[in-house]
Amino acid sequence: MNSSLPNDDDKDKAPQPTNGPQVAPTAESSSDSDSDSGKGGTGRVGVPPQQAGVPTWATGLFECFDDIPTLIITAFAPCITFGQIAEMVDRGQNSCGLYALLHAGILYFTGCGCLLSAYYRIKMSHLYKLPDDPLINILVHLICEPCALCQEHRELQARGFNMRLGVGWRNQSPELQQSGGFMVAPKVPEGMSR
């Protein structure tokens, strides 16, 4: 006679309720997770691998002496360095001279030219996916605007821009203008043909 109650054999086969995917630990998986922990891996199911490193500036804030001509220009006329940076960040919408006059005017009448240059640092950070904490960027310009301007100038040079005085956006290479200063892999010439 069949009963509706499960016998002892059926209890062992009954599925147990779970709260998600579970992986039974084995000696091999526990040793893998231990060895992977130093490499950034987790050895667990459902955990994404480590992402690529956080983008950073090409040079440090206080590496001003790496580019002496820019340091001298920035020390005596920060509006010129700002004008060059703003022209490249805005992709030639206005000339370096106009941005330099705007910065000099704000600096002369209010003494707060650093706020305009901080705005362009934030804009540059968003554009090139650099560390973009607005408060930090404003503080950097308030405390040491010449160092910040030199760092931004070196960043644009590292991205391939020709930052010499008088060159401007319109005299940059067409490839650089199209990419906007984003790092692109160089084109590899095709193989030899006969």
Q: Say if 101 falls within a structural domain.
A: yes
Q: Say if 94 falls within a structural domain.
A: yes
Give dist(CA 153, CA 71) in Å, integer.
Answer: 10
**H-helix segments, 53-173:** 68-76, 78-89, 96-110, 113-128, 134-158
Q: Say if 160 falls within a structural domain.
A: yes
The pTM (predicted TM-score) of the whole model is 0.65
Confidence class for position 85, pLDDT limits 50, 70, 90? very high
- CA-based radius of gyration for the chain: 29
> Which run of H or of E encompasses 194?
none
Give dist(CA 179, CA 22) in Å, integer.
Answer: 46
Q: Say if 91 falls within a structural domain.
A: yes
Q: Which has more pLDDT, 154 or 33?
A: 154
Number of domains in the chain: 1
Arithmetic mean of pLDDT, 19-47: 49
Residues 110-146 have pLDDT tens digits of 999 999 999 999 999 999 889 878 899 999 999 999 9
Q: Say if 42 falls within a structural domain.
A: no
Q: Say if 95 falls within a structural domain.
A: yes
Q: Which domain holds residue 105?
A: 64-165
Q: Say if 55 falls within a structural domain.
A: no
Query: How many helices and strands, by DSSP H and E, does the chain display?
Result: 8, 0
Q: Say if 71 falls within a structural domain.
A: yes
